[in-house]
Chains A and B, each alone.
Chain A
Amino acid sequence: MSRPQSPAPSVSQGTFTRAILDAGQPVPEGLLDPEGRPAGRRFSVYRNNVAVSLTEALATAFPVIEKLIGEENFKAVAGVFLRRYPPDSPLMMFYGQQMPAFLEGFEPLKHLGYLPDVARLEIALRESYHAADATPVPPEALQALPPDRLMAARLRLAPALRLVRSRWPVASIWHFNMSEGAPKPPANGENALVTRPGFDPQIIALPPGGGAFIAALLAGESFGAALDAASGAVEGFDLTAVLGLLIQGGAIASIEEGPPA
């Protein structure tokens, strides 16, 4: 190929990426095949790589959403999402943080009101999976404290703990789609607790008041204040059951006495 007389057109990375995300844009001038003709389909390789790899990343992140709306619909939704929210970091394991808000505003799926909270739960699971390790306190540590000291203490929860509070039965929807033989979801809302005993996150629907209790602990409230919050939220809050879930999930990282740090 002979050198052109006029300076060759320079292709900025902005021009390149705009044409990648929008297949309606022409292939940038200055991208060629070996004969010096416009690159055409050769450019589409990049368009395709980007769209396919991001769609796959989203499918890996949101398997229950994909199951609920079907593979073809999910691809279409991912195609819209990835163009509106390209990743803002190279850590693909955390891609899709805007999915719940996106689904809330996505007209064609508005009739499936539970989707945003299911997406929140799927994000919580991934965050839990990659969260820092923490050695849980021994199960007897809580009982060892006299009641007045326990009430004033603060439980520091494991980094892998997540709480998703929903007016939809999110935990049951998740299990119904991902666990063989799980029962049909109930009609009521659920507070889903994610813990990670070992390396595999688990999801449990908390008993009534459990969401208020754990939310208060996460906010740094004392044990007593969290108990008040839960008891104020529901009649007959089952503290023993909720503490059992936290202990079984290895979710209490430490018990801190004295003024908050």
Chain B
Amino acid sequence: MLDATPRRFDALPNRPGVGYKPQHFAEIMEDPGPVDWLEIHAENYMGAGGRPIAQLRHLAERFPISVHGVGLSIGGEAPLDAEHLARLRQLLGWLNPASFSEHLAWSTHDSHFFNDLLPLPYTEATLARVCAHIDQVQEAVGRRMLLENPSTYLAFAESQIPETEFLAEIAARTGCGLLFDVNNVFVSATNQKTDPYSYIDAFPLHLVGEIHLGGHDEDEDDHGAPLLIDSHGCEVVDPVWEMYRYTLQKGGAKPSLIEWDNDVPEWPVLAAEAARADALLAEVPA
């Protein structure tokens, strides 16, 4: 049985953070630069022991930790995976992190996990289902969670509710907070041919407990229209930094994470992205 880690950090600071990668462990412990908190993917720390858990214990003594789930399948048609929910409850129990978040998406169907964040139609039926699942998660883990807006590549003919309204309604019904991924807004708006700034204006920023910034890839659809893909494999692009600045000025300073999950760079490159967020955070009152 794992010992409880004493709670040292009640909340993420309104400062830059990065997605933690084990290859950066020594550099982060030595000099984290502008990085004041770390995010981990919950599923990578659900083993019984060994180096991952030991490193996480060290990090958690020094940094506020955000646990970001990628496997709960909150938008799934089927009931939530009880075993997985129990593992999550155990991780959040011993780690006692500053924040826990998941996605408005689904990834499991018919007991198979697809390792991708799959899209949902925005209807009254899916709204009710997502809310029921979030109620169940928050009940099971005994804390409030944040729900992240998705990157989308296509639209459902059956959708009836705008995404911003859908997310606001989920938060209103379940009491959950929101995670605002600025790159996802840019990706979806480009792919859906909508205005990303209207999306920010319509988003309930007062419910946002964390911001994500990441890179994307560029492709084209069958008709030559731009098709952006949320890949977390490169630098954040300038238009996304501009949207981030606008978001901060509108909603105030927030904990702001650089996500870089594929082709992970050397630590100085990641720290430089965090420094860019730091400079924009400095423009708004903490």
Q: Using a CB–CB distance below 8 Å, which chain A residues touch chain B? A: 4, 7-14, 16-17, 20, 30-37, 39-43, 45-46, 49-50, 53-54, 57, 86-93, 129-133, 159-160, 196, 199-200
When C-beta atoms are compared, the residue in chain A nearest to B220 turns out to be A41
Candidates B43, B44, B221; contact of A33 at CB < 8 Å = B221
List residues of B (114-164) whose CB comes within 8 Å of A's CBs: 114-116, 118-119, 121, 153-158
9 contacts between A and B (CB under 8 A): A10-B121, A14-B109, A17-B112, A32-B156, A33-B154, A33-B221, A46-B119, A90-B72, A199-B54
Whether B76 is near chain A, meaning CB under 8 Å from some CB there, is yes
B contact residues vs A (CB 8 Å cutoff): 43-44, 46-54, 70-73, 76-77, 81, 83-84, 87, 106-116, 118-119, 121, 153-158, 191-194, 219-223, 225, 227, 229
Q: Check B77 against A13 for contact (C-beta < 8 Å).
A: yes
**Which one of B72, B115, B153 contacts A42 once the chains associate, using CB atoms below 8 Å?**
B153
The answer to whether B43 touches A91, judged by C-beta atoms less than 8 angstroms apart, is yes
When distances are taken between beta carbons in the complex, the residues of chain A under 8 Å from B52 are 130
Other-chain contact of A46, B46, B84, B153 (Cβ < 8 Å): B153
Chain B's closest residue to A10 (CB) is B158
Which of A42, A45, A196 has the most chain B CB atoms inside 10 A of its CB? A45
| Minimum distance in angstroms from B275 CB to a CB of chain A | 30
A73 to chain B, nearest CB (A): 22
Instruction: Say yes or no: A50 contacts B114, CB within 8 Å.
Output: yes
CB distance from A168 to the nearest CB of B (A): 27
Q: A89-B81, A90-B84, A132-B48 are in contact. List 11 more A-B contacts (CB 8 A).
A: A10-B121, A14-B77, A32-B155, A42-B153, A87-B113, A91-B47, A93-B47, A133-B53, A160-B49, A160-B50, A199-B51
Residues of chain B with a CB closer than 8 A to A196's CB: 50
Which A residues are CB-close (under 8 A) to B155? Answer: 31-34, 39
Residues in A neighbouring B70, C-beta threshold 8 A: 90
